Structure 1
Amino acid sequence: MAVQIGVFLPTSGPREAGFGAGEIRDSARTAEAAGLESLWATDHLIASQPMLDSTVALTTAAAVTDRIRIGFGAMLLALRPIAWAAKEIATLQQLSDGRTLLGVGTGNPAHGDIGWRAAGVPFGERGVRTDRALSVLPKLITGEPATLDDGLEVTLSPAAPMPPILVAGNSARARRRAAAFGDAWMPINPALDELPALLTELRDLAARHHRPTPTVTVVAPALPADPHQAAAALAAYESAGVERVILAPTGQDWRRDYAFAADLRAAQ
């Protein structure tokens, strides 16, 4: 089976680039028409460049497509009250007819801590808060009684099917989190020759939790510019156990990037 290929929606960029619903709709339709597997949106409250809200952008993309999967790449659960996050995710699952992919991360330190301070969340607690959120999130989304940190028991409705959880990050802690809570591990451009050992570690960690070994989605793999050479590189990723890649934007020209993704898919 060929490696699945995803792309990022044009939801962030320089201040002068601007954003519009038409561009999000056009990019979503273009990716689906090209036969790509998934669309992704980045997530930060305050980033190093302007960035749309991921949930609203993904909902816009879901509304104009029928098949392509819709992914958070990756949602910062720790920035949000977990019940609100669960409500957003469950609603997107409903409105996308179950096409949601829930990437979860703790944020890129390159963006600094201002967004966390603006949300009233201690930057240093983001990992612990993420683990606590993941422990209760499935019950909240699927409509089961769930107990929050303060002891309050709540049940959200309407319920939705639990989307796959992809735990983002290259660190050992991210792999431990993926083993404990995730359906997949989602590192950024890991070294191909290191993947076999990392996947062995991931399998052993998952076994300790009596859970299946998470699959692997690689974000921003380093690929040649020629689609046929890039397809050969994807074959190496597939041999290493990678299920999906999400191609990084090369600039503001998403049409060029999506065309490359389509050519890459055809060349596999």
Structure 2
Amino acid sequence: MDVGITLPGFGHDAVEHAQHAEGLGFESVWHGDHLIPVSPFLDATLVLATVAATTTRIKLGFGVMVLPLRPVAWAAKQVATLQHLSGGRVLLGVGSGGDVHGEAAWRAVDVPFAERGRRTDASLAVLPPLVRGETASVHGTPVTLSPPAPMPPVLIGGGGAAALRRAARFGDHWYPAFLPLRAVAAGVARLEELATTHSRPRVGVTVGVSVALGAVANSVVEHRIRSMTDYGLTEEQAREVVVTGSAEQARDHFARLAEAGADRIVAMPFTDDRFRQAELVAEATQT
């Protein structure tokens, strides 16, 4: 199973964290994306471009790009550029924007909040040919971008029915976060059904996992659990999916995710000792 880890949402040390993760053997680093999120993020495209210039091997993941907030041609240009700068290391997580972040960003870019799902699907339909330099129709206008680039793998964010349908139709991976093991297994089963409908292979599964390993104050964990209820989880579900304790306990949890069908996990540390968390996650995932 591949293992990635998220970068800090803001600050000047993304490069140090990415280089540290690369040195520890992580497959990928990930950065969140939104225009006006509930927690501050730097712009994902610029962060990942900076990381691309200062690393050599590690893959660069959007976790996830809120595609309908951007004109699709611009998004395609950004993705293609990052593929060039990184030597083809992009993992393109895509989402339609969660309710938790509200409507302010959508009003700011004059996109109706209620249309975000439809616009996501429409963008995903034309994004691959645009990135590859092929002519695609965008709002009735033929558009050809250059220079072309290989289309990166698309990971469809979200844990609900719409995300599963979107992943089966457009994606290479389904990318939920904070899901209990039984929900991951149920999602994998549903993807098997949908693969038949769309005459495509069953897509892979990447799971985002909230982690705080080692000696962590109980108050920090409790604060994280309360914040996760904003994403639609009950307190009981949040306690089930937060991974705490030793590296050995984390290894057991990650193994159960693999048994449920996960091909990749993305560790999402929520404590201040992020360098140490990366080391503990690396220890937990060593075979």
Superposed displacement of residue 209, structure 1: 1.0
Of 54, 58, 65, the residue aligned with 2:55 is 65
| 8 Å contact kept, 1:74–1:168 | yes
For 1:251 and 1:47, locate their aligned partners in 2 and report how far apart those are by CA, in whole Å. Answer: 19
Cα shift readout 1:204-229 (whole Å, capped 9, x = no counterpart): 11221111111000012532421112
Q: Match for 2:268: what amino acid?
A: A
**Which residue of 2 is the match for residue 230 of structure 1?**
250
For 2:272 and 2:255, locate their aligned partners in 1 and report how far apart those are by CA, in whole Å. Answer: 28
Query: 2:180 matched to 1:167?
Result: no
> Secondary structure of 1:7's match?
strand
Superposed displacement of residue 251, structure 1: 2.5
**Which residue of 2 is the match for residue 195 of structure 1?**
184
Q: Match for 1:9: what amino acid?
A: L
Range that drifts further, 240-249 or 187-196: 187-196
For 1:186 and 1:65, locate their aligned partners in 2 and report how far apart those are by CA, in whole Å. Answer: 24
Range that drifts further, 192-201 or 92-101: 192-201
| 8 Å contact kept, 1:189–1:219 | yes
Within 5 Å, give how 1:15-94 maps onto structure 2: 19-20=11-12, 23-94=13-84
Superposed displacement of residue 261, structure 1: 1.7
| 8 Å contact kept, 1:36–1:265 | no
> Secondary structure of 2:269's match?
coil
For 1:209 and 1:198, locate their aligned partners in 2 and report how far apart those are by CA, in whole Å. Answer: 16
Unaligned runs of 5+ in 2: 211-240
> Secondary structure of 2:265's match?
strand
Unaligned runs of 5+ in 1: 13-18
Within 5 Å, give how 1:217-256 maps onto structure 2: 217-220=206-209, 222=241, 223-256=243-276
For 2:88 and 2:47, locate their aligned partners in 1 and report how far apart those are by CA, in whole Å. Answer: 16
TM-score normalised by structure 2 residue count? 0.86
For 2:70 and 2:49, locate their aligned partners in 1 and report how far apart those are by CA, in whole Å. Answer: 18
Q: Match for 2:203: what amino acid?
A: P
Within 5 Å, give how 1:74-223 maps onto structure 2: 74-148=64-138, 150-220=139-209, 222=241, 223=243
For 1:117 and 1:251, locate their aligned partners in 2 and report how far apart those are by CA, in whole Å. Answer: 32
Q: Which aligned runs of 4 or more in structure 1 are off by greater than 3 angstroms?
A: none
**Which residue of 2 is the match for residue 9 of structure 1?**
7
Query: 2:258 matched to 1:260?
Result: no
Range that drifts further, 221-230 or 132-141: 221-230
Superposed displacement of residue 195, structure 1: 2.8
For 2:142 and 2:7, locate their aligned partners in 1 and report how far apart those are by CA, in whole Å. Answer: 36
Q: Match for 2:207: what amino acid?
A: V
TM-score normalised by structure 1 residue count? 0.92
**Which residue of 2 is the match for residue 15 of structure 1?**
none
Cα shift readout 1:183-212 (whole Å, capped 9, x = no counterpart): 000011222123333212111112211111
> Secondary structure of 2:63's match?
strand
> Secondary structure of 1:248's match?
strand
Q: Match for 1:136: what amino acid?
A: V
